[in-house]
Structure 1
Amino acid sequence: MKRLEGKVAVVTGTSPHIGGAIARGFAAEGARVVCTDLSESHAKTCAEQIEAVGGEAFAVAGDVTDPAHVQEVVDRAADRWGHVDVLINNAVWFNKKGLLTVPLEEYRRQLDIILGGAFLFTRAAAESMIRTGTRGSIVNILSTAAWQGEPGNIAYSTGKSGLINFTRSAAMELARHGIRVNGFTPTVTLPEDPEVARRAMAEAMAAPSEYPMDFVGQFPLGRLPVPSDYVPALVFLASDESQMVTGGNITVDGGATAKYWPWTPHPGTAEATTSEGGM
């Protein structure tokens, strides 16, 4: 039996990058998946990819900060499949600007997407789970930037850090209902396609930056992760295997947050790469 057989999962932010990989990975483990994204094309493409290999999915495009959209997603999932078992709060706006450069309205918008979207979806999914007596799992996608001070990315870092204690607080509030809430920490992530990854690295190295970063040379495991590297741990958090795990965090970052700051694990590589928005 597949590890998510019979479960219904809602995944927000199903772009071709991390969110899409999560949705496809869940479907491969037997879950029926609702693919959501601000981009209708991204949501539809993800659902179509799942259906093309025999899975069950549908797409709903919309803004995670819109309460009506959030309720529509959860209601449609429950109407079609009877319940919601899993929510992955992954939607984000990548807008790398610093304290001295980000306009206030953009700062607020990023926080509203990261924190407001997670709040609205978590509340709507939890209400649905409570109504149906579902002992569900909610996972908030964090970032190594939630745990470290990344320069030039103030709103993203602030929002992802806020999700840490949002996760803990929601986990405590929902524990009596048997609903688990956890965080998941990825890091800088390359596309699955090696050629696309190579081009992304070359472009990042050529682009001028106020805060140049040597992601490859400073990365303990030597290669940066791709989205599929995250799927097994997320399947664990979504499955009944993690039924005693709540209020915590699983980190899949190749040792990035464990590394002692002055140590250079791969001296001489001096290659910067991209996080496709700052993971």
Structure 2
Amino acid sequence: MSRLEGKVAIVTGASANIGGALAVGMAAEGARVVCTDLSAEVADATANRIVDEGGEAIAVVGDVTDPEHASDVVARALDRWGRIDALVNNAVWFNQKGLFDMPLEEYRRQLDIILGGAFIFTRAVARAMIDLSIPGSIINVLSTAAWQGQPGNIGYSTGKSGLVNFTRSVAMELAEHGIRVNGFTPTATQPEDPELAAQMAAALSKQSGPYAMDFFGQFPMRRLPTPSDYVSSVVFLASDDSSMITGSNITVDGGATAKYWPWRPQHD
């Protein structure tokens, strides 16, 4: 029997990269999935892929910072399948700017998507789970940037870091209802698509500018993870196998956050 057989999952930010891979991976384990995104093209593409591969999925378009969108997603899931067992809060805005070049309104918008979106969807989904007495699972997608100080990426780093304690706090509130809340930490991710992977490699290798970075050269393992490397951990957190894990975090980062700061793992 598949690990998520009979379960219904909602994935926000169901893009072709991490969110889409998680949605497809959960469907492959038997989950019926609601794919949400601000882009209709993105949401439809992921839902259609799931259906084409023999699964069940629907796409719902909207802004995660809009409570009416969250209510609509929950209503659509309940109307179609009668339950919700898992929520993956993955919606994000990649807007890589620093303290002095980040406009205040963009900073607020980025935090609203990451933190506000997680708050709105978690509350809407948790209410449905409680009403139906479902001991569900809520998974917040973090980042290695949540645990380290990355210069020039202040909104993203702040938002993802805020999700760490959001996860712990909500886990304590929902524990009495049997609802588990955990974090999942990925890192810089290499797309599965060869063309996109080449673009990513060019963007991440020995960056110039005021905050020069070399994601590949400083990575402990010989390659960056791909989205498929994340699926099994998220499936585990959504499944009954993790029934006594809450307020915690699973990291799949190839050792990135464990690396001692002066060590250069990939020498020229």
Q: Normalising TM by the smaller chain, what interval?
A: over 0.9
1:53 positional shift: 1.1
**Counterparts of 2:204 and 2:95, CA distance in 1:** 15
Q: Is 1:213 aligned to 2:213, yes or no?
A: yes
Counterpart for residue 47 of structure 1: 47
- 1:205–1:262 distance in 2 versus 1, CA, 3 Å: closer
**Which residues in structure 2 correspond to 1:237-248 (within 5 Å)?**
237-248=237-248
1:194 positional shift: 3.0
Q: Secondary structure at the match of 1:234?
A: helix
Q: Is 1:257 aligned to 2:248, yes or no?
A: no
**Counterparts of 1:100 and 1:52, CA distance in 2:** 46
Aligned 8 A contact 2:205 2:216 in 1? no
**Counterparts of 2:68 and 2:184, CA distance in 1:** 27
Q: Secondary structure at the match of 1:4?
A: coil
1:78 positional shift: 1.1
1:205 positional shift: 4.5
**Identical residues among aligned pairs (%):** 69
Q: Which moved more, 1:159-168 or 1:208-217?
A: 208-217
**Counterparts of 1:239 and 1:63, CA distance in 2:** 27
**Which residues in structure 2 correspond to 1:15-164 (within 5 Å)?**
15-164=15-164
Counterpart for residue 177 of structure 1: 177
Deviations 1:6-60 (A, max 9, x none): 0000000001110000000000000000000000100011000000011000000
**Counterparts of 1:140 and 1:194, CA distance in 2:** 28
Q: Secondary structure at the match of 2:149?
A: coil
Q: Which amino acid in structure 2 is aligned with residue 229 of structure 1?
A: D
Aligned 8 A contact 2:204 2:216 in 1? no
- 1:244–1:159 distance in 2 versus 1, CA, 3 Å: same
Q: Which amino acid in structure 1 is aligned with residue 111 of structure 2?
A: L
Deviations 1:232-259 (A, max 9, x none): 0000000000000000000000000000
1:204 positional shift: 4.6
1:207 positional shift: 6.5
- 1:207–1:260 distance in 2 versus 1, CA, 3 Å: closer
Deviations 1:64-112 (A, max 9, x none): 0000001000111011111100000000000000001100000000000
Q: Which amino acid in structure 2 is aligned with residue 179 of structure 1?
A: I
- 1:113–1:132 distance in 2 versus 1, CA, 3 Å: same
**Counterparts of 1:206 and 1:148, CA distance in 2:** 19
1:144 positional shift: 0.2
Count of residues in correspondence between the two structures:
268
Deviations 1:106-159 (A, max 9, x none): 000000000000000000000000000100000000000000000000010000
Q: TM-score, normalised by structure 2?
A: 0.98
**Counterparts of 2:253 and 2:58, CA distance in 1:** 30
**Counterparts of 2:71 and 2:34, CA distance in 1:** 13
In the alignment, structure 1 segments of 5+ residues that lack a partner are 269-279
- 1:181–1:206 distance in 2 versus 1, CA, 3 Å: closer
Q: Which amino acid in structure 2 is aligned with residue 251 of structure 1?
A: T
- 1:157–1:261 distance in 2 versus 1, CA, 3 Å: same
Q: Is 1:229 aligned to 2:225, yes or no?
A: no
**Counterparts of 1:202 and 1:93, CA distance in 2:** 21
In the alignment, structure 2 segments of 5+ residues that lack a partner are none
Q: Secondary structure at the match of 1:95?
A: coil
**Counterparts of 2:157 and 2:202, CA distance in 1:** 25
Q: Which amino acid in structure 1 is aligned with residue 198 of structure 2?
A: R
Q: Secondary structure at the match of 1:5?
A: coil
Q: Which moved more, 1:74-83 or 1:33-42?
A: 74-83
Counterpart for residue 276 of structure 1: none
Counterpart for residue 194 of structure 1: 194
Q: Which amino acid in structure 2 is aligned with residue 231 of structure 1?
A: V
Q: Secondary structure at the match of 1:181?
A: strand
Name the Cα RMSD after superposition. Answer: 1.1
